[in-house]
Every structure is written in structure tokens, then in C-alpha cells.
Copies of this chain bind each other. A is one copy, B any other.
Amino acid sequence: MAGGKAHPVSPLAPEGLPALPAIAGIELGAIEAGVRYKGRTDLMMMRFAAGTTVAGVFTTSKCASAPVDWCRSILDKGNARALVVNSGNANAFTGKAGAAAAKTVAVAAAKLVGCKADAVFMASTGVIGEVLPAEKVTAALPRLATTLKPERWDEAARAIMTTDTFPKAATRKTEIDGKPVTIVGIAKGSGMIAPDMATMLSFVATDATIPADVLQALLAKATDKSFNSITVDGDTSTSDTLLAFATGKGATHKPVAKLADSHFRNFRAAFEDLLIELAQLVAKDGEGAQKFVTITVTGAQSAKAARTIALSIANSPLVKTAIAGADANWGRIVMAVGKAGEKADRDKITIKMGGRLVAEKGAVHPRHDEAAATEHFKSRDIRIEVDVGIGKGEATVWTCDLTHGYIDINADYRS
């Protein structure tokens, strides 16, 4: 939002936030701390009941931000009592001063909550290369801590936005061993911290009782099918953070000992489904996005190979601009399959657009209907299916088109 330019709400945005229920054991809220933005909330805090477990997945960047380093260093304790998230400043590439700023925030939050600093998780998103002004955060935290309430998820979802054009949240009611449990998640997407970088943050919480190691395994698996299966431009933030919290303050249920427990199956499915919904919301708010694109690859050598091929298609500027231009250009899809580096046999590839056969056995299909394919490419919801024809690996990824809006957003002057 540097420069004060507001971008129009994505045409792919849902009509509004769903009703977000309270999670027993969690109180949260947001406040205007003035880290960088004016006139909007930019500091979010969650307080967790004693006994809350935590799991985390972070950016693969070799240049991770100070908050990511902090979270990684305390994750193996498996307990969380607070989460502090600011927007406006990513505290990334800020050296020792940045690490000190992160610690200052953790210590201040711990004091307010009455826990050790190593139970305080955090995330920062915004410009990089500037040390987080920790004093603005620590000055605002006491006021924020006195106003935390269980039902303030909406505010939390808004406070972590940067150039997101809409807030993102999802919820599921499910059960463990017949006892009701609730999950709520919020995310911020790949709107750029104009003009710094895309950062994906997401925080998911449940009132179920889940040991930290099971929660970690659950989160890692579900991430592959959700946040690791979306892409806007192939760029990776220094700050990507996904944290899951389980308070254990809901209905008492049969203990969960491992991910494969049969009575945990429904929860696992609901959790994964929620993460996929959040991930899709992020893709729908990609910079300049006008179309939502689902790419399914089947018949690859392995599931991993299928995802690599699907991401190669999803990240190809040529495929993304063809979609923007409603050009049902299957040649570019062949190109993207070919460059993925995974095993493929040109003469066994099948391509469908909007469910219709376009090409098979290494050539255009004799009944390919280009007009119908073009009509599909004019819609908001593009479906591309590729069968590689050599194995059983499958994967689905989601992305958006590449439009003038992306250039507008990212080629702006920072000032």
C-alpha cells in the first residue's frame, strides 16, 4: 500500500467473510499500532490457553526473515501461549538488529500473557530491509492485550492484510470420535507489500486436543495439498509462515496418538479442506488476478512429478498471459509440460480445457473445437487437465492469470 494506491477488489473475491465462530481457549484482537500504515489496524494478537500445542511450516527461502528465524527456534517446544503479527514491516534482511527487535516483541508479549518468551510466536509482513520498529509494537501491545476477545477473527483477518484486496478466512465444524470440534483459519495472500514482496501468512486454530507432533505431521501433509499447490508468480517470500494451534479446550474426546488414527480421519479431511480453501482464496487475490485457474495433472511418474509439471504450467508467463487474453493456446501448455524436467512422452500427452479434449497422442485432437475452448477461456474459472500418460501420479494446483494489473501493481515506484 506504499504510495497509497488502492487496487480494486479482485473479481474472484467471495461475497464476504464467512461467520467465524469462537474457538475455546483463544482470545484475539487487532489494533492500529502505526508500524507503517495509517488509518487501519496493523497489529494482531492471539492469546492461547495453557496447554495449547503448535505446529509450523515456513518459507524455504535461504534468506528467511527474523520472525521466521524466531519461530523456528522455539517450534520444537511445541507450546504456544501467544501470537503477535504485524503488517507494514517484514523485519527481513535486517541482520542482528532485526533479530533483537523480534526478541523485544516476544519478551513484551510474554510479560503481558504471563509466559516465557519461547511460547510467543510471531510473523511480520511488509517492506523488507528495515528493522521492525519494536517500540511501536510494544507500546501498542498492552492496550491490545486488554481487549482480546474470542470472537474477533474478522478483525484479525483484516489486520494482517497488506495489498490483499479482501480478507481471507475459512471455518469447519467436524468431529473427533463423535465429539464436535471447530477449526478456524485466516490468511493473507500474495498481494505484494507494494512494492516489496509477496508474503503468505496463515494461522489456523482448533479447540481439539492434538499433540504437537501429530499437529506438525498433519500440517506438513496438508500444506503440500494446499499452500504448496498454489502459485501466483513463482516468487517465494522471505516471510511465509503457516502456524496451527490446538487449544484442547473444546469437548473432551478420545486422545489422538498419531496421524493415522481412524477416529482422526474426519478431522484430518476437514483440516486439509480448510487449508485448500484458504490457499485458493490466496490465488484468487493474486496481483491483477482476473481468472482463477485449476490445473490437474494425472498420469505422471509420481505425485511429486505431477505437481512439478502442474506448477510448471501454473508458473509459465506464457500460459498465464494466454489465459489473460482468453487465448486457448494449448501449445503453451505442451511447452510448459516439456520444460518441467519430469518424465513425459510427447506422443502420449492428453490435454483438456474446460473438460473438452484438445490434444492427444502428441497432436491436436481431430474434433478439437477451438471456439468452445476460447469461450471457456473467457470465463472466470479456467480448468486445464493434462494426462501425461506414463504413470499414476496426480496433483492439482491453483493459480491466476497474468495481467496488466500485475505489472501496474509491481512496477510502481515505491515512494
Q: How far is the CA of A238 from the CA of B197 in the complex (A)?
A: 32
Contact (A127, B321) CB under 8 Å given A62-B338, A363-B97: no
Q: Is A95 an interface residue (CB 8 A)?
A: yes
Can you spell out 14 A-B residue pairs with CB atoms less than 8 angstroms apart?
A: A60-B341, A61-B338, A62-B340, A63-B346, A93-B331, A95-B347, A95-B361, A129-B331, A197-B331, A233-B316, A235-B336, A317-B406, A325-B411, A402-B407
Chain copies in the assembly? 2
Q: In the complex, are the beta carbons of B324 and A62 less than 8 A apart?
A: no
Q: Is A154 an interface residue (CB 8 A)?
A: no
Chain B contacts for A362, CB-based, 8 A: 93-95
Q: How far is the CA of A413 from the CA of B63 in the complex (A)?
A: 40
Q: In the complex, are the beta carbons of B332 and A196 less than 8 A apart?
A: yes
Question: Residue among A98, A127, A321 with the most chain B CB within 10 A?
Answer: A321
CB distance from A383 to the nearest CB of B (A): 19
Q: Is A234 an interface residue (CB 8 A)?
A: yes
Q: How far is the CA of A306 from the CA of B334 in the complex (A)?
A: 29
**Which residue of the partner chain B has the closest CB to A401?**
B411
Q: In the complex, are the beta carbons of B60 and A318 less than 8 A apart?
A: no
CB distance from A260 to the nearest CB of B (A): 31
Chain B contacts for A339, CB-based, 8 A: 60-62, 235-236
Q: In the complex, are the beta carbons of A411 and B321 less than 8 A apart?
A: yes
Question: Residue among A97, A343, A347 with the most chain B CB within 10 A?
Answer: A347
CB distance from A171 to the nearest CB of B (A): 32
| Residues of chain A from 297 to 352 with CB closer than 8 A to chain B in the complex | 315-318, 321-322, 324-327, 329-332, 334-347, 349
Q: Is the interface of A mostly helix, strand, loop or mixed?
A: loop
Q: Besides the contacts A61-B338, A92-B334, A197-B318, what 19 more A-B pairs have beta carbons closer than 8 Å? A: A60-B339, A61-B335, A61-B339, A62-B338, A63-B349, A64-B338, A95-B347, A128-B331, A128-B334, A129-B334, A130-B364, A197-B335, A235-B317, A235-B335, A322-B411, A325-B411, A327-B413, A327-B414, A374-B413
Q: Is A88 an interface residue (CB 8 A)?
A: no
Chain B contacts for A345, CB-based, 8 A: 62
Q: Is A404 an interface residue (CB 8 A)?
A: yes
**Which residue of the partner chain B has the closest CB to A345?**
B62
Q: Is A52 an interface residue (CB 8 A)?
A: no
Q: Is A137 an interface residue (CB 8 A)?
A: no
Q: Is A403 an interface residue (CB 8 A)?
A: yes
Q: Is A101 an interface residue (CB 8 A)?
A: no
**Which residue of the partner chain B has the closest CB to A413?**
B327
**Which residue of the partner chain B has the closest CB to A330?**
B129
Contacting A410 at CB < 8 Å: which of B59, B322, B341? B322
Contact with B along A53-87 (1 / 0, CB 8 A): 00000011111100000000000000000000000
Q: How far is the CA of A403 from the CA of B403 in the complex (A)?
A: 11
Chain B contacts for A346, CB-based, 8 A: 62-64, 93
